Every structure is written in C-alpha cells, then in structure tokens.
Amino acid sequence: MASEEQISAIKIDMDTIEVSNLNRQFLFRQSHVGQSKAKVARDAVLRFRPNISITPYHANVKESRFNVDFYKEFDVVLNGLDNLDARRHVNRLCLAADVPLVESGTTGFLGQVTVHLKGKTECYECQAKPAPKTYPVCTITSTPSKFVHCIVWAKDLLFAKLFGDKNLENDLNVRSSDATNLSEHSEDVFECRKGEDIEQYGRRIYDHVFGHNIEVALSNEETWKNRNKPCAIYSKDVFPDKLTKENGKTEKGSTTEDVSAMASLGLKNPQDVWSLAENSRVFYESLRLFFSKRQKEIGNLTFDKDDQLAVEFVTAAANIRASSFGIPLHSLFEAKGIAGNIVHAVATTNAIIAGLIVIEAIKVLKKDSNNYRMTYCLEHPSKKLLLMPVEPYEPNKSCYVCSETPLSLEVNTHHSKLRDFVEKIVKAKLGMNFPVIMSGASIIYEVGEDLEEDMVAIYAANLEKALSELPSPVISGTVLTVEDLQQEFSCRINIKHREEFDEEKEPDGMLLSGRVEAPVDKNSNKPIGNGESTSSALSTEEIQEGERDVEIQETSESAENVTGKKRKLSEVSKGSIPDHSGLPDESSRNQNQLEKLDVDDEDDELIISNDWESLTKKKRL
C-alpha cells in the first residue's frame, strides 16, 4: 500500500495488558503491562505507519455511545471479540448501519475468518452458535464475572503454581499500571521459605492471592470505572488465631487416595455450599495435606477431577475468589462439574487468522465480492494444507435477526414471571441488551438511561408479576413486540399458554420456536430482509437450545437444497472442497475438527476502518 494514502481506523478494547499476553500479542512489551491494549496498540502501529489515523477507545463495545450512527461512519468492521453476546451485538449494529463485517475467532490450533454483507451473505446469526467454551485470559486474571472464571483461575493458575512444574510460565499477579512494580511482592512468593511452617506459608499465600493481588488490581482505577470493585480478603479476617486448633487431622494410616480436607474438617455433603470461612479452612487444610501427605508429588502435579484433594483445593480457592468479586459461591459437586479442559491460545494461529482478516478486509474495501471467502484454519492438514476456504453462505431465510420471520413462545402465563421471560428469552435467547417489551400499545417493561424514577419503579414491580397478572395481561393469544433500540432490532412473539413442562428436557419452563421478524425500514415501512435463501426454517429444538454449533451443521439437508457452489462445511468435509480450493477432504479426523470450528478469541477487540478509498485502486493480493 502506498505510504501517502489516508487510512483512518478506530480500535475498541476494554482490556488492559497482562504478562500472559506477551507471548502471543506481539505489539506489547513488558513495559506495557497494566496499560490499555487499544492505546498501546495504536502507538505501536504508528511507529511503523505514522501517516495513518487510529483512535483508541479503552471501553466496552456495548456502551451506548457506540450506536448505529457511530457504525455508519465506517467502511468495514473487523471483529475479534471474546464472547457470543458481544458478537451478536456488533452483528446487529452492522446490519442496522449496513456496514460489512469481517468476523474471526481462534481457539488453540483452530480458527476462522468469515465475511458478512447485508443482503448478500448470511449474517453472523444466520446460523445458531455454540456456547463459548474458551475463556479470555484477561478476564480470568483481572476481572472475573462468572464462577467458571474463578474455577479456571484456581485450577490452571493457582493449583499449577503451587503444585505443578515450577519451570512453566505462570503469572498470578494482577498488575497495576505502574510497570516499575512488576517484580515487587512476587519474587519467590509461592516458594515455602526457610524456617516457615505450613501455617505461616498458608497464611502468606492466602494473603497474597486474595488480598495483595486484589489491592493491586484496585489500584488500576480505569478498569473499575464501569465495574463493581472486588474486595481484598486477608487470613486474619477469616481464620482463627491458630489454624491447627481449628482444622482437623488425618489418620496416620490414611493413603493418598483417602486424604481429604473435607473428611479432616467433618464436612460430609459435597452438595453443600460452604461459607467463606469454611472455604478458607478447606483451602488451608488441603494445602497442609498436600505438603504433609503428598510432598513427593509436589512439582509434578496436574489437576485431575478424580483427585479428591485437588478438587477440594480448587473448589475452595475458586469460592474465595468468587466471594471477593461478588460472584455466587458453588458446592464442591458443582465446581467439580465445571472444571473442564481449557484450550490455550496459540500465537501462530492468531497470526494466521490476523493475516486472513486483513486479506478479506481489503477485498471488502475493493468491493471484490466474487472473491470473498470464509476460511477455516484446521488442526490437522487436508492434502498438506491447513487452511480451508469456502464461499460465503447465502442469507438464511430462517435467521432470527436479518430475515422476516415469526416467533412463538409456549409458557405457563399464570406461573412464569416477567423476569423469567426477560432473562431466559429476551436476553439469553434473543441477545438483547436494552429491551423494550410492548403488549399492544402498552409498554410493560423497558430498560434505558433516560427513564424517570417512577417508571423505573413500575417496571421493576412488573418483573415480579406473573405474565397474566401484568397491567396488560399476557395470556394465550397475546402478541408481544420486543425491541432493542440500541441494536435497532425488533421481533414479535406469539404467546401460547401451556400448563406443564418437563423439568429435565425443558428446564427454562418455556419453549421458544419459529422465526423472528427483521427490523422495519422506517422509510418504506417494509421489513428489511437479508436477501433470498433456500435454507429451511430452524426447528423448535434448534431454537430452544439456541447455542448449538451449526457452523458445521449435521442435518439431513441435501446438497441439492443449496444453490450454486454454496455448501455446508459438513458437506465439504465429506466430499470435496469447492472449485476455488479443489482439495478433497478424505480424513475423518478433519471432520471432527471442523465440528469444533466457529470459535471465539480469548481476547476482546474491535477495529473499525474508514477513509480507505485509495485501496480500491490497488491490485488484489
């Protein structure tokens, strides 16, 4: 690209730089730890491309200031977000603003880049997405909001640091913006010091990870502008003066398999949710038992869900951290179920996907629509190639966001509250952030910054009422209109009363099915579709589950139902790749890895570009 061209871009990222980012995010250096990713990335890029304009935002992409008018300023949006909810949000704003979206994601050795243009290709939500199973590193170490974040922290960071290979890189210290303090308080902090007994060691570790590190995190004020602040917890506040008097002792004849902090402390039911004090006692007791009964294993341990003592330690540590961040505590039984395999980021995969993002962005800016590709990075080669390009899919007629579609909800209108409908359907299933719910001409619920206090109180009261008891009763035959004004997304839901639900198969106590109508063009009063499609409607089961992986959809739909060269990846993997690739995929191993695709990044960023007119004059890459 010519050096004189004027390129303008905006980068939005809510994260700050962690030590663990440095091995794969190559714009960042040790001195940047604790600083805004968006701002540091801008400065790094300007050093080798000084004539471009980049505006960094250290912010959440879902903030109200990033509205449809904001998106309309740009020529293309490049997405690398770390969660499904944010991706849905950006997809809807790009549709409303009619701005092309280049989506991307990686997990381990897998990754993909997809292109989405309104009316020409499917939108990001034309196919239901699997629930994300990877977790952003920065969220784990700095700003956990879910209990699973605490489990990952306790299992993959704290447990590994205390009992695993000491030579493996592992940084538990949440950093402040002062890079000069990087090594302070952290050198050998996890090593048992000379002359230190197990009680002193346990208290020191407890105070460091649950007290000192939290205070360091709090010192980075910018991080907590729009978040609830955690509280530091110290051993003196939860432990008795002498731990050995309070905690139990194991029997001398107990084997490694029998060693249990729960048994030692007289805690019998694994489905009980322990208090902070009980979790603290289990934390110390399990630490003591590892050092007294399993000393020879320390340095070589890895977490095993069948290792009772390991599960007890991780449960206790996760619950203490959850308590600090105001997250509900969980039982050992629940924690054991949550603890699963975490796929770590691979720098080379990130680099490959980043390059593919740029290639597709240039095609979009050159309006080279005939050569758009959805490219998938595989873990195992297909004919010696790791990249599988396919043509973009056509818009899905059954899409609940960009096509004209109806919805139906079966619900017990006498028992289900409005709150259940808002949380389980409007937010969880439809992905709305600032919903307005109307029954006829009456507004029964609304979220917004400009609401009067009396209206806020009325809507809050409505949340606790059964649907049939609302001021405008919602009963069988009622048609609700649900809108998100920020996303410019609207749908109508036909209500059907149903008395009973199978608690095991239908735990929500309500069943969503059918389709969602597209937003209406304010000028023509006609629904805004997303082009033609031969795709069949989503089944009730698919919408109910909502988060299913249909990027590689296993259905009975034949290839004849897909026009032109467009193919599902499940078809491609079983036969041959389209003409632009010409490479047959004969490996069942690749079929398995394709089914894992459509993945999220572990980091959260959004880049929006404009003023790229000069690029359209360049030759294709």
CB–CB of 111/352 below 8 Å?
Answer: yes
Least confident of 68-77, 201-210, 453-462, 549-558: 549-558
Q: What is the Cα–Cα distance from 304 to 336, expressed in whole angstroms?
A: 10
304 has binding-site annotation: no
Is residue 519's pLDDT more than 70? no
Is 150 among the residues known to form the active site? no
Is residue 46's pLDDT more than 60? yes
| Chosen CATH of 407-514 out of 3.30.1330.10, 3.40.50.1240, 3.10.290.20, 3.40.50.2300 | 3.10.290.20
- The pLDDT assigned to 249 comes to 52
Residue corresponding to tokens 């003592």: 309
- The pLDDT assigned to 329 comes to 96
118 has binding-site annotation: no
In percent, how much of the chain has pLDDT > 70?
A: 72
Residues facing residue 375 across a β-bridge: 113, 389
Cα distances (Å, whole numbers) of residue 582 to 382, 389, 594: 11, 10, 17
Record the tokens describing residue 339, joined without a space. Answer: 């603890």
Helices (H), 49-130: 68-71, 84-97
Q: What is the Cα–Cα distance from 356 to 104, expressed in whole angstroms?
A: 9
Nearest to 83 by CA among 23, 132, 33, 137: 132
Which residues, 6 or more positions from 544, have their beta carbon under 8 angstroms from its beta carbon? Answer: 506, 511, 512, 513
84 has binding-site annotation: yes
Angle, helix 276-293 to helix 308-324, in steps of 10 degrees: 140
402 has binding-site annotation: yes
Average pLDDT over residues 111-118: 94
126 has binding-site annotation: yes
Nearest to 573 by CA among 558, 594, 554, 559: 594
**What single-letter amino acid sits at 249?**
K
Q: What is the Cα–Cα distance from 357 to 113, expressed in whole angstroms?
A: 6
What residue segments make up the domains of the chain, in order of their start?
8-134+346-396+598-614, 137-338, 407-514, 559-594
Q: What is the Cα–Cα distance from 361 to 101, expressed in whole angstroms?
A: 9
Residues facing residue 609 across a β-bridge: 9, 76
574 has binding-site annotation: no
CB–CB of 270/262 below 8 Å?
Answer: yes
- The pLDDT assigned to 210 comes to 96
Least confident of 60-64, 94-98, 220-224, 521-525: 521-525
Q: What is the Cα–Cα distance from 245 to 242, expressed in whole angstroms?
A: 6
Rounded (to 5) percent helix, strand, coil in the chain: 35, 15, 50
176: left (phi over 0), alpha (psi -120 to 50) or beta: beta
- The pLDDT assigned to 605 comes to 61
- The pLDDT assigned to 178 comes to 45
What is the tens place of the pLDDT at every residue in 250-292?
444 455 556 899 999 999 999 999 999 999 999 999 999 999 9
Q: What is the Cα–Cα distance from 568 to 560, expressed in whole angstroms?
A: 11
Q: What pTM does this model have? A: 0.56
Q: How confident is the model at residue 584 (pLDDT cuts 50, 70, 90)?
A: very low
Q: What is the Cα–Cα distance from 121 to 492, expressed in whole angstroms?
A: 24
Average pLDDT over residues 448-458: 86
Record the tokens describing residue 190, joined without a space. Answer: 């996890």
Element (H, E) at 12: strand 8-12
Q: Which CATH architecture has domain 137-338?
A: Orthogonal Bundle (1.10)
CB–CB of 355/111 below 8 Å?
Answer: no
Average pLDDT over residues 65-78: 92
37 has binding-site annotation: yes
CB–CB of 15/34 below 8 Å?
Answer: no
Q: Starting at the earlier edge strand, list the strands of the sheet with 110-116.
A: 53-57, 8-12, 605-610, 76-80, 101-107, 110-116, 374-382, 385-390
Q: Which residue has the higher pLDDT, 528 or 128?
A: 128
| CATH, domain range 8-134+346-396+598-614 | 3.40.50.720
Residues facing residue 436 across a β-bridge: 446, 483
Which residues, 6 or more positions from 349, have their beta carbon under 8 angstroms from its beta carbon? Answer: 106, 108, 109, 110, 111, 377
Question: Which of the following is catalytic: 94, 138, 377, 491?
Answer: 138
Cα distances (Å, whole numbers) of residue 2 to 74, 78, 147: 21, 21, 49
94 has binding-site annotation: no
- The pLDDT assigned to 152 comes to 92
Is residue 564's pLDDT more than 50? no
Q: What is the Cα–Cα distance from 362 to 374, expressed in whole angstroms?
A: 14
Q: Within a 10 A sphere around the Cβ of 376, how many other Cβ atoms? A: 29
399 has binding-site annotation: yes
Cα distances (Å, whole numbers) of residue 108 to 135, 377, 382, 600: 12, 10, 18, 10
Q: Over the chain, what is the mean pLDDT?
A: 77
220 has binding-site annotation: no
CB–CB of 528/558 below 8 Å?
Answer: no
Average pLDDT over residues 166-190: 55
377 has binding-site annotation: no
Record the tokens describing residue 351, joined without a space. Answer: 């680099």
Q: What is the Cα–Cα distance from 93 to 217, expressed in whole angstroms?
A: 33
Q: What is the Cα–Cα distance from 484 to 69, expressed in whole angstroms?
A: 15
Q: Tell me which range, 35-44, 393-402, 450-459, is most confidently predicted by mean pLDDT.
A: 35-44
Q: How confident is the model at residue 45 (pLDDT cuts 50, 70, 90)?
A: very high
What 3-state DSSP class applies to 70? Answer: helix
192 has binding-site annotation: no
378 has binding-site annotation: no
What is the tens place of the pLDDT at every residue in 344-401?
678 899 999 999 999 999 999 999 989 999 999 998 887 788 999 999 999 888 787 8
Q: Within a 10 A sphere around the Cβ of 572, how many other Cβ atoms? A: 24
589 has binding-site annotation: no
Nearest to 329 by CA among 278, 390, 256: 278
What letters, b where the CB count within 10 A reaches 16 and e where it falls short, cover 92-108? bbbbbbebbbbbbbbbb
Cα distances (Å, whole numbers) of residue 18 to 95, 161, 174, 217: 33, 17, 8, 11
306 has binding-site annotation: no
79 has binding-site annotation: no
